[in-house]
Amino acid sequence: MSALVGGEARDEFVARVCGGWRDASSLGDQIDCALDPDRLPKADGEPQARLSAGAWVHPVILAALERALLDEENRLRTTFADDGWYARHLFDWEHSNLPDRRPMSAEFGCGETDCDDFGHAGTLAATAGESRDSNRAIFGTGLAAATTGPAGCRAVVLHDPNAPMFTPRFRLRYWREWVDGTPTVIAYPIPPGYTAERVSRVVFHQFATRCYWCCTRVGKGPHDGGGMMVDCGGAVHVFPTCRACADKFDTDLHDAVKHCYDWPKERRARWRNDAQLDYVTDTNWDHATGWPADRWR
């Protein structure tokens, strides 16, 4: 064939595709949005480092990331559940940042001694039934787009033996009955109104049980470790980490900076700030105070 569908010559088609692959497009914007971090810039306007940027220079953590991302035999394969499953596990409009809820005080059952500093309980942005239903419908549309977007989506992946599984169902071509797929670990999308840290906090609160590194039980207190959040672009991987392992990782990174004595002072300071590990903890505070918006935490 000398021409493609529509009458376009083969050489013209190749020139058009190869010549405009760097041009801005709506699909490219979606891909960039899925890969960019959602952390706010610093007070001076400088962008923050990705979550747990120090994980990429620690050999033990780097080996775990390679297994999770590159090892075809052992890497963790994930899937998205249906919208109803996410709604039953705190992924809805009420638990997002959209209502802009403030923390509830101790008199509402928080139980934390310092909760009184946050004043009265916040209220939902909309109290009328129709407005609330409308907000829920809009959020549901955003959640569906986050799990079925054409360019993929940002998601959170929990590495824990207690991570829930989902069995997708699909209908074979030319067949009427539905067929069950392979049970697969659930990934958690980051829909509008959520951030990677907020989703990680919700997931860690509900499903984290064991330290990924030493298999000891991860506690729920303020000094019992947390979930190490590693930003890998399209996905944020959460590794439950006990306090002992977290202290060891921090010590290793701190010692690595000290041995770089021949570096300029500014470079060492910048590396010390960027090569850090970020954790999400679960002290039951968010649950006790009604899951307030991130800006009121």
**246-293 confidence digits (pLDDT tens):** 999 988 887 766 655 555 566 555 666 667 888 998 877 887 788 888
H-helix or E-strand containing 19?
Answer: helix 10-19
Q: Would residue 161 count as lying in a domain?
A: yes
How many domains would you assign to the chain? Answer: 1
Residue-wise pLDDT for 132-162, tens only, equals 777 788 788 878 877 776 555 788 999 998 8
pLDDT band, very low/low/confident/very high, at 110 (cuts 50, 70, 90): very low
The helix (run of H) or strand (run of E) holding residue 78 is strand 78-79
Q: What is the band of 239 on the pLDDT scale with cuts at 50, 70, 90?
A: very high
The percentage of the chain sitting over the pLDDT mark of 70, rounded to a whole number, equals 66
Q: Say if 9 falls within a structural domain.
A: no
Does residue 126 lie in a domain region? yes
pLDDT at 291: 84
Let me know if residue 21 belongs to a domain: no
Helix or strand run (H / E) with residue 17:
helix 10-19
Nearest to 233 by CA among 295, 293, 165, 157: 157
Note the pLDDT of residue 52: 83
Is 236 part of any domain? yes
Q: pTM of the full predicted structure?
A: 0.75
Average the pLDDT over 167-184 and give the result.
72
Among the ranges given (51-65, 92-106, 256-270), the one the predictor scored with the smallest mean pLDDT: 256-270
Domain range enclosing 196:
53-296
Give dist(CA 292, CA 297) in Å, integer: 7
The answer to the question of residue 255 being in a domain is yes
In a domain, 95, yes or no: yes
Quick one: pLDDT at residue 126? 37
In a domain, 38, yes or no: no
The C-alpha atoms of residue 247 and residue 274 are separated, in whole angstroms, by: 17
- Whether the predicted pLDDT of 53 surpasses 60: yes
For residue 131, what pLDDT is reported? 66
Whole-number pLDDT of residue 5? 56
CB atoms within 10 A of CB 180: 9
Average pLDDT across the chain, whole number: 75
